[in-house]
Amino acid sequence: MAQPKKIQDYNRWYHLLRHYVDFVLRLSYRSIRYVGRENIPQDGAVIYAPNHTNALMDALVILAMDKKAKVFVARADIFRRPLLAKIFSFLKIMPIMRMRDGIDEVKKNTETIERAVDVLRDKVPFCIFPEGTHQTKYSALPLSKGIFRIAFQAQEMMPDMPLYIVPVGLRYGSFFRFRSTVRVQIGEPINVGEFTASHSDMTPQEQMNAMKDVLAERMQQSTLYIPNDEDYDATYDICAAVVKQRVDEMNGRGRRLRGMEAYFEANNATVKQILQLKEEDPEKATRLLTLGREASQIRKANNISLSSISIKYPFWSRVLKTLVLIAKLPYNIPVTLLTLPIKLLCAYLFTKLKDYAFRNSIRYLANLVLWPVLMIIYSVIAFVYLPWQWALLVIVLLLPAPIVAHETYRLVRIMISDTKLLLNKPLREKYAKIREMIFNE
């Protein structure tokens, strides 16, 4: 009798679909950068432990880290419908109960843990979000113990194979904007066997708690971490206000920072400075954070983007971008209209969402599924009404339409935001004062 298929087994259809899924993911971001891939162990089983900030997109970004298939877990309530359960199983996703489901439900995780151990024994990477839920902030939530229970049980059942928990930090340029950026940093792995051996004087519960502290610290080191307190919004606006000057300052000291790496290091340096200021000069910290809080409130009330605050475009660069946009209107307008069904579908689905974190996931899925359907429809129409040469040209021009349409929208949105900032003198003065306090006092 043939053995039943396991979730980690090779699936030809999954393998074929994976190429398309990864391709659409790359189109969904202007840039995806992976840092520290050399930290991924090659001599044993791996459990990835990423922070959770952007719903489905987090899993897709982890999946695209390399060509290996990976097994994920997701909250059990989405598996209640048999059809969805089959789809998730095909996608290599297993259910897991959370503490919020009740202690009796959590006890049902025994089967999931056993299947997870089986996945690791086959040296297939396993991914679990140890925070247990997501939040759209550059911060952190307490880690649940599920990942450690799986790791401890797996290590016990395969003592001759090294097992690692690998912290991963996901840092999005924006949680809600499509075609943003994402930086993925793979941190220093924890060798579970070596860790428990070096803490043999502790009980298993104490070992879990100690490992949880180490993992939490390494996850925070791998991403931008702002304490989630009453100063969060103020701190983030201050980071945006000074990031360009901070990068220039760092590069002036002999560094060669560019792009996402520059912003990552600059923002972390600013957060560190603010926390240090709170300890050493509370009065100045209060004045600075009050300015940041007021600026954040004014900026949000006027719908001014943080990109207008953080990115300083030269005047002629802005003029050139405007001229290019005008020159491309004969192409941009029709492709924007032809991609309108995707935008309208997303807008409708957004009205059904209670959690904004799912917005980019909805956009991704809409483009993944609906654009190929629209391309088939438009292709049929083109070949029916046009000579085949012209029809083929139309199809080629339409292929990048969703990206072109969104980039057009993004550029217009930023231009409007820049204009609002230019006309808002009180807000510009607050940001100027913030920069002065950070760099000159």
pLDDT in tens, the chain (441 residues): 456 688 888 889 999 999 999 999 999 999 999 999 999 999 899 999 999 999 889 999 999 999 889 999 887 777 777 887 888 888 888 887 665 555 555 556 677 788 888 899 889 999 999 998 888 999 999 998 889 988 998 898 888 899 999 999 999 999 888 999 999 999 999 999 999 999 999 998 999 999 999 999 999 999 989 999 999 999 999 999 999 889 888 887 777 778 888 889 999 999 999 999 999 999 999 999 999 999 999 999 999 998 888 876 656 667 777 888 888 888 989 999 999 999 999 999 999 888 888 899 999 999 999 999 999 999 999 999 999 999 999 999 999 999 999 988 888 888 889 889 989 999 999 999 999 999 875
Alpha carbon distance 176, 179 (integer Å): 10
Tokens of 97: 């109960």
Residue with tokens 């217009």: 412
DSSP for 146-213?
HHHHHHHHHHHH-TTS-EEEEEEEEEES-SS-TT-EEEEEE---EEHHHHHHHTTTS-HHHHHHHHHH
Q: How many CA atoms lie within 13 A of 381 on its CB side?
A: 10
| Chain-centroid distance, C-alpha 409 | 21
Long-range contacts of residues 414-419, Cβ cutoff 8 Å, at least 24 apart: 414/305, 414/307, 414/308, 415/318, 415/321, 415/322, 415/325, 417/303, 417/304, 417/305, 417/307, 417/308, 418/308, 418/313, 418/318
Q: What is the pLDDT of residue 39?
A: 94
pLDDT (0 to 100) of residue 1: 46
Q: pTM (2 decimals)?
A: 0.90
AA identity, residue 175: F
CA torsion sign for 358, 241, 183, 150 is negative
pLDDT value of position 9:
87
CA dihedral (231, 232, 234, 236) positive or negative = positive
Which residue carries 């605050």 as its tokens? 309
Q: Are 341 and 374 in contact (CB under 8 A)?
A: yes
Q: Rounded to 5 degrees, what are φ and ψ at 73?
A: -120, 150
**End-to-end CA distance of the chain, in Å?**
77
Confidence at residue 393, expressed as pLDDT on a 0 to 100 scale: 94
Report the pLDDT value the prediction gives residue 102, as an integer from 0 to 100: 52
Q: What are phi and psi of 49, to 5 degrees?
A: -125, 85
Q: Tally Cβ neighbours within 10 Å of residue 30.
A: 15
- What distance in Å separates the CA atoms of residue 286 and residue 233, rounded to the nearest whole number? 14
DSSP 3-state of 51: coil
Those residues whose C-beta lies under 8 Å from the C-beta of residue 244, and which sit 6 or more positions away, are 310, 311, 312
Angstrom distances, CA of residue 212 to CA of 131, 132, 171, 205, 216: 11, 13, 21, 11, 6
What local confidence, expressed as pLDDT, does residue 201 receive? 92
Angstrom distance (rounded) from CA 132 to CA 145 = 9
DSSP three-state, residue 376: helix
